[in-house]
Amino acid sequence: MAQIKLSNLRHSYMPAPKGPEDYALKEIDVTWRDGGAYALLGPSGCGKSTLLNIISGLLTPSEGRILFDDQDVTALPPDQRNIAQVFQFPVIYDTMTVGENLAFPLKNRGVDAATIKRRVDEIAEMLDVTDMLNTRASGLSPDNKQKISMGRGLVRDDVNAVMFDEPLTVIDPHLKWKLRSKLKELHQRVKATMIYVTHDQTEALTFADEVVVMQEGEVVQIGTPVDLFERPQHTFVGHFIGSPGMNVLPCEAKGDRAIFEGHEVLLEGTTNGEGGRTDLGIRPEYISFGETGIPAHVTKVSDVGRHFVVSAMVGNTAVKAVAEHNAPDPGSHVYLNFKAEQSRVYRDGWIATEERAQ
């Protein structure tokens, strides 16, 4: 187990990268504490798998260093880094039994038979696969196969980190939930640093203590699930996390107010910086309906189960709001109220309002 530090990491798949657009990863600087549960969240192609492969040693970064507890491992091959990785598709050794599969990483490292047996039994018990130990692994269902892949990662008690590369992709929806809670439980029991890569916000937010949101090879925000939801640092985070995502409305910024479609909106704090494109960001959850406020015309109401998502037009801009109950009818005219503490201005995508003093 170890603290993982990525220092000025950059990676390009091209031999001679010229501009920043040639980099799959641009400038990553992160420190992950020992024993934490982290998620790398981002759309497909944002560089999260590249980052994962760099940490596990399957790829060598073009620039920068990787430190496990202050030991530089940048040049070490995967088997010397003492990490474990679970892949998108379950990897199992077809000709071996479940037990042999679990024992394989230990056997390769020359661990004695008694220790192997003890560790395999322990892990099998944790994963609820004790009764399958002597069956051939090739006949298992995908979720059990994925459990075995995880088990092979966890069986070594000295692993620095366990990494998961979208491990639930091929699992049936009703089993996803079960495996996810199993993972969470495992994390509490083995206390290894775990890094979980996914493009699914639910998976990331339920698994991780801290989520790293990535976009086009850059880390956009690192924070707890609550941080990401309550105070997105970038319009991308606001939009990517939450359903529906944050409203991003073109506006003008003026001190602690934003002018949006001719209406003044009170912000969380004073805006900073100058120039660039300014947008008002507010989550649909923080827009309410009232007797006075910004006039809007309701175009559509969707019932998503827990609440209603109301689409409305303010001038020429579409705004989404969430109503718990009593949603207005489509076609009606309403007044919207934006919650000041949750209204922020973003300049060129990045947050540009000062945090309100608590």
193 belongs to the binding site for other proteins (CB under 8 A) = no
Using CB under 8 A as the binding criterion, the count of chain residues that bind other proteins stands at 25
Q: From CA 24, how far away is CA 8, in angstroms rounded?
A: 14
349 belongs to the binding site for other proteins (CB under 8 A) = no
Q: H or E element: which one contains 322?
A: strand 317-323
Q: From CA 87, how far away is CA 150, in angstroms rounded?
A: 9
130 belongs to the binding site for other proteins (CB under 8 A) = no
| Closest distance of CB 140 from other proteins, Å | 13
315: tokens are: 């001038």
58 belongs to the binding site for other proteins (CB under 8 A) = yes
Q: In the complex with other proteins, which residue's Cβ is closer, 143 or 268?
A: 143
Q: Which of 129, 60, 127, 140 is nearest to 94 (CA)?
A: 140
Q: H or E element: which one contains 12?
A: none
Q: From CA 335, how far away is CA 291, in angstroms rounded?
A: 6
Sole residue written with tokens 């207005």: 328
Member of 3, 88, 97, 270 binding other proteins (CB under 8 A): 88
Member of 18, 19, 108, 158 binding other proteins (CB under 8 A): 108
Q: In the complex with other proteins, which residue's Cβ is closer, 89 or 350?
A: 89
Q: In the complex with other proteins, which residue's Cβ is closer, 81 or 187?
A: 81
Residues 153-192 as b or e (16 or more Cβ within 10 Å = b) = bbbbeebbbbbbbbbbbebeeebbeebbebbeebbeebeb
79 belongs to the binding site for other proteins (CB under 8 A) = yes
Q: From CA 52, how far away is CA 58, in angstroms rounded?
A: 9
Q: Which stretch binds other proteins (CB under 8 A): 8-16, 101-109, 306-314, 341-349?
A: 101-109
Q: Which of 327, 329, 300 is nearest to 313 (CA)?
A: 300
Q: In the complex with other proteins, which residue's Cβ is closer, 136 or 307?
A: 136
Member of 12, 49, 50, 56 binding other proteins (CB under 8 A): 56
Q: From CA 172, how far away is CA 204, in angstroms rounded?
A: 18
77 belongs to the binding site for other proteins (CB under 8 A) = yes
87 belongs to the binding site for other proteins (CB under 8 A) = yes
Q: Which stretch binds other proteins (CB under 8 A): 41-49, 71-79, 176-184, 327-335?
A: 71-79
Q: Residues interacting with other proteins, by CB under 8 A?
A: 53, 56, 58, 77-79, 83-85, 87-89, 91, 93-96, 104-105, 108-109, 136, 149, 152-153
